[in-house]
Chains A and B, each alone.
Chain A
Amino acid sequence: MSDLRSVLEDIAAQAEARAQPPALAGLQRRRSRRSAVRGAGAVLTGAAIAVLAIWLPSQDASRPDVVVAAGPPTATASATPSVESVPPGKVAVPSYAQGFGVIEFAAGEPPLADLLSSYPTGDGVLVTAGQRRGEDVCTSVFVVAAPAAQHGPASCNSVLTGGAKEPGRLALAGSSTGPSGGGPATSLVLAGSAPAGTRTVVLTAPGDVIERLPVVSTGSQYADRVWFAVPWVEANTVVQALDGQGRVLDSQEFLLGMSTGG
């Protein structure tokens, strides 16, 4: 088994060489955030489910108005995206502890999205942000994962602009002003919801196609929507949804959410 040991040492050495330790203070923030939300989480979740049980069935279930990208507090490039289904008329408490997800809301009051923008999960807290139809994200969904005393509703660590401002295209212009600290957010978790007929979601930097994404046709609670999720997106990326003929879809029907992590 001497060969085995040398191979194991080799594997370990490669991983060791590539490992990038985040600041310890960042890990400490993760813990503080988790502790804070664990306390408030049960109350929030119970209240959220109760409110939604009454509220959701009365809404137009044909399409959502808010999409939230959910990710763990410390999003990493290597994290695997996942899309969770939320049954129509119900909002379970999804467990996104290991991945990213999409949560869709029908038209409603911002406080509802605010309330739901943070869930306690098995391993941590979601830091979420989203976009209401035609509005910038900070107007509707807030980062509530951190203690309110430190990072209240006015604190938003993700800004998503575009939408109606640029028909057919949504430009991600991330900025980080909240718990993540100041400065541009260069790495974002992106998730979205697009109308039925969308076949591809294309991400481009200025002039260059970065990535073509398949959409997920079965995830959305809305029959005429499709989902997609991207674990790692650079700021200032342009996102377009194309139908089967390659035509660009109206961005008014194309919702995006993103999270910068904690």
Chain B
Amino acid sequence: MPPPELEEFYASSYRRLVGVVAAAAGSAAEAEEVVQEAFVRLLPRWQRVQGFEDPEAWVRGVAFRLLSNRLRKARNGVRALLVHGPPALEPPPNPDRLDVERALADLTLSQRQVVVLHHLVQMDVLEIAAVLNLPVGTVKSRLSRGRVALAAALSDPEGAHA
């Protein structure tokens, strides 16, 4: 059985982690998958990670890296989508935020990751670079391109999505 402290940590952080990852993944289901996998990887390391200043940041980092890795396995998903059509629809978004969501969806996953970590989790570039195992310059570049793409899409939503 998992130790009570881990159970408590899991219960208190799971939903919050899914929320953050979902913003980057664009899919709550995808977010749940990677967050669960991140917790699976936490289990054997709990003794060490629980001593960290912010164990949740460790799990979040693992989840974000797993999200990146899943890109490599997207081939099966694309094939299945072509064969079976899209998965069950999630509730329709609020129309007020539709443009922003569309603009976000047009970003690459790597851009969305840094945008979410910066704007939602409020991490700075150095922290993001550490979490994603990326050079600082790469993070800056992705963040910059993501912002430019978002700004362009939001200034001309019709043109961007016609």
Contacts and interface: CB of A to CB of B under 8 A. Distances in A.
Contact of B32 (A12, A25, A76, A97): A76
A172 to B, nearest CB: 19
A11 B30 CA distance: 14
Given A19-B18, A76-B32, A30 B83 contact: no
B54 interface: no
B115 A4 contact: yes
B2 A25 contact: yes
Contacts of A122: 73
Interface residues of B, number: 50
Contact of A5 (B28, B39, B77, B120): B120
Contact of A12 (B10, B22, B76, B147): B22
B158 to A, nearest CB: 18
A82 B23 contact: no
B81 to A, nearest CB: 7
Interface string A66-100: 00000000101111111110000000000111110
Given A4-B100, A8-B116, A229-B84, A98 B19 contact: no
Contacts, number: 134
A74 B36 contact: yes
A212 interface: no
Given A80-B77, A216-B83, A12 B23 contact: yes
B80 A81 contact: yes
Given A4-B150, A123-B37, A15 B22 contact: yes
B159 interface: no
A4 B112 CA distance: 12
Contacts of B43: 27-28, 31
Interface string B12-51: 0011101111110001110111001101100110000000
A70 to B, nearest CB: 12
A9 interface: yes
A82 B77 CA distance: 7
A218 to B, nearest CB: 9
A16 interface: yes
A99 B77 contact: yes
A81 B100 contact: no
Contacts of A81: 80, 84
A8 B23 CA distance: 6
B19 A13 contact: yes
Contacts of B10: 21, 24
Nearest to A219: B83
A38 B38 CA distance: 18
Interface in A1-49: 1, 3-22, 24-25, 27-28, 30-31, 34
B11 interface: yes
Given A78-B29, A80-B80, A25 B91 contact: no
Given A4-B150, A7-B97, A31-B44, A15 B31 contact: yes
Nearest to B32: A19
Pick the most buried of B81, B120, B150: most chain A CB atoms within 10 A of its CB.
B120
A76 B33 contact: yes
Contacts of B11: 21
B150 to A, nearest CB: 7
Closest 6 CB pairs of A and B: A78-B29, A15-B22, A16-B19, A12-B19, A82-B80, A19-B18
Given A82-B80, A98-B73, A122-B73, 10 more contacts: A4-B115, A8-B104, A12-B19, A12-B22, A16-B19, A19-B31, A19-B32, A21-B11, A80-B87, A82-B83
Interface of B: 1-2, 6-7, 10-11, 14-16, 18-23, 27-29, 31-33, 36-37, 39-40, 43-44, 70, 73, 76-77, 79-81, 83-84, 87-88, 91, 94, 97, 100-101, 104, 115-116, 119-120, 147, 150
7 contacts: A7-B101, A15-B18, A15-B28, A24-B7, A30-B40, A97-B73, A214-B83
